[in-house]
A and B are shown apart, each in its own frame.
Chain A
């Protein structure tokens, strides 16, 4: 029994360590074929009001970095599921989601949201006039709050992408 216990730990620990599934750099490089430009957007005025509507709270930052190449943009944000922030990456082409990735998950339960069977539901989703996602997203039992966090960040990224399309973003830096 004792040997079985230690074998189990050793075998399991070989798989991988840490809560980060994809690095920020890998997410950006996988999202673009060309090298994108890194920009930042001020989260002020209406944007924080929209954050309160979509996320239920102000986004805890003054600015947000994002990456852009042509009509494609990529956003990385943190949002709390139950207790801990989930790091979520959203790539948007035009006004539709091209990809959603979970970069890091820190909650004790609900890590299934990182798998493609869940994140692929967001592909092609845009924003409806009432600010809901156009695609229905089926949840995961026992991970309701994490599912809600990913859905809300996807909506907010779509809004920010649309918001920046017609406005000047400050602080351009080459990626």
Chain B
């Protein structure tokens, strides 16, 4: 009996030992699994942290890339320039005609400063051929999505070239003579103005600004009545009389832009600024232009006319009407090469039929864009002047903008 109990106890002890061993193994396996789970959790948290760090690094790099992009800076620099070679009947010349720097600053999303400083004809100073000119310096407040207010020194909203005149944006080495002499581009004044959109495709400009001042005591009659020479360029400009400009434009059809503008000058002599006994010469400018582009073909046309009080005839007979127009078809064979022709006429003494003052000009030439914003130009001009001083020849130029 005792022996049987001893055997039973021994058997139970064996079973207990075996169970304990299994329990230990199980415990060991459990511990191993727990460790693995813990490691897995730890790994996951490390991976998550690494991902966060990687994401933060990528975002920092992308932010640096965006900040490196000048467009995202508050102050931006731009410019344009053009070198011309003219070989004409009146002589040959090479001229770095314009070197321009734009400096703009964004005060806030809807408040920006724009400026344009130009060195004309390469060298400026006493007795030099060129000039340093401030052509734009104004603040624009975008007080609503479709309407802006600006004040300062700005380009007059007239014509095709006056506001957009980077050399890569137009055909011909020199700017066309009609806009140069009638508009007269480039033309800037000091004052304030509004611009914006009245409806989709319908734009407007309304500006109140300083006025012209005829060089009435000049010994040259053509200078006395010249609108171009009457620009005061906002340099201690006589401000006895102001002017206003209004323009409406339509660009609601792809490739088309049509503009009509009107300007009123209250007195071109600024109350007889030059003491020549002539004053109170009011003037109206009417201007109309069309730009159209369809596929490879484009067309520009402009008409402008000054209707000036007859008092100006005391300075130069026939100057009370000054008028000009041009037509310019063009074809762009590919993004790099385009050809154009232009025919136009202007007359600064149009009301005097005996003045022989009309100038007709035909131009033909090409633009070759090495880069969308770097252009080489060539053209031939035939200028047929009524007074017999024709000026034919060719022009070669290069230009850039950025």
Contacts and interface: CB of A to CB of B under 8 A. Distances in A.
Interface of A: 8-9, 12-19, 21, 56, 60-63, 80, 82-85, 106, 108-109, 111-112, 115, 117-118, 121, 136-142, 144, 148
A121 B254 contact: yes
Contacts of A62: 58, 61-62, 65
A101 to B, nearest CB: 14
A61 B63 CA distance: 8
Main secondary structure of the interface of B (DSSP, over half): mixed
Interchain residue pairs A-B with the least CB separation, the first 7: A138-B255, A141-B257, A141-B291, A138-B254, A12-B147, A60-B65, A16-B145
Nearest to A115: B200
Contacts, number: 107
B143 A9 contact: yes
Given A12-B146, A60-B69, A115 B201 contact: yes
B353 interface: no
Interface stretch (B70-78, B127-135, B278-286, B306-314): B70-78
Given A12-B147, A16-B145, A18-B109, 10 more contacts: A9-B143, A15-B146, A19-B110, A62-B61, A63-B58, A83-B71, A108-B140, A118-B254, A138-B295, A140-B257
Nearest to B148: A108
Interface in B212-264: 251-257
Interface string B355-390: 000000000000000001000000000000000000
A155 B142 CA distance: 31
B163 interface: yes
B85 interface: no
B145 A136 contact: no
A12 B144 contact: yes
B140 A16 contact: no
Main secondary structure of the interface of A (DSSP, over half): loop
30 contacts: A8-B194, A12-B146, A12-B196, A13-B144, A15-B144, A15-B145, A16-B145, A19-B109, A21-B145, A61-B65, A63-B58, A63-B62, A80-B69, A83-B78, A83-B104, A84-B71, A85-B71, A112-B201, A112-B251, A112-B252, A115-B200, A117-B201, A117-B254, A138-B254, A138-B294, A139-B255, A140-B251, A140-B254, A141-B256, A142-B163
Nearest to B143: A13
B114 interface: yes
Nearest to B146: A15
B218 to A, nearest CB: 35
B293 interface: yes
B164 interface: yes
B276 to A, nearest CB: 32
Contacts of A144: 169
B66 interface: yes
A9 B149 contact: yes
B242 to A, nearest CB: 13
